[in-house]
Amino acid sequence: MTNDKLKMSNEGRLFEEISGLVSKIVKMPLDKISLESNLFTDLGVDSMTGIEIFAAIDQKYNLDVPEDKLKSVQTVGDLVALVNNLI
């Protein structure tokens, strides 16, 4: 498997896992969440919900996401890319 295919399959798996977490937290059907979904405008994430999402991701992947990185996350795709870069 090439690095590009491995990266794509890893990102695909991460998208499934992260979108599942987000779906449960924001109580939105999984089929309504895409990589392009804006966490704030499309999914209704507020600051408290954002903290809950990041805490769930920190726990699931045993990550300590730097606060400055969190500020750049706008979409589910941004979140997947961030986690993919940190693991």
Judge if pTM exceeds 0.95.
Answer: no
Three-state SS at 75: strand
Q: List the chain pLDDT tens, one digit each, 87 residues.
A: 444 454 557 888 999 999 999 999 999 999 999 999 999 999 999 989 998 998 999 999 998 877 777 788 999 999 999 999 888
> For position 7, what pLDDT does the model report?
52
Q: What is the DSSP letter of 72?
A: T
DSSP string for 4-48: HHHHHHHHHHHHHHHHHHHHHHHT--GGG--TT-BTTTTT---HH
pLDDT at res. 69: 79
Q: Among all chains, which residue has been given the structure tokens 């939105």?
A: 28
77, amino acid identity: G
Domains and CATH numbers, the chain: 3-81 (1.10.1200.10)
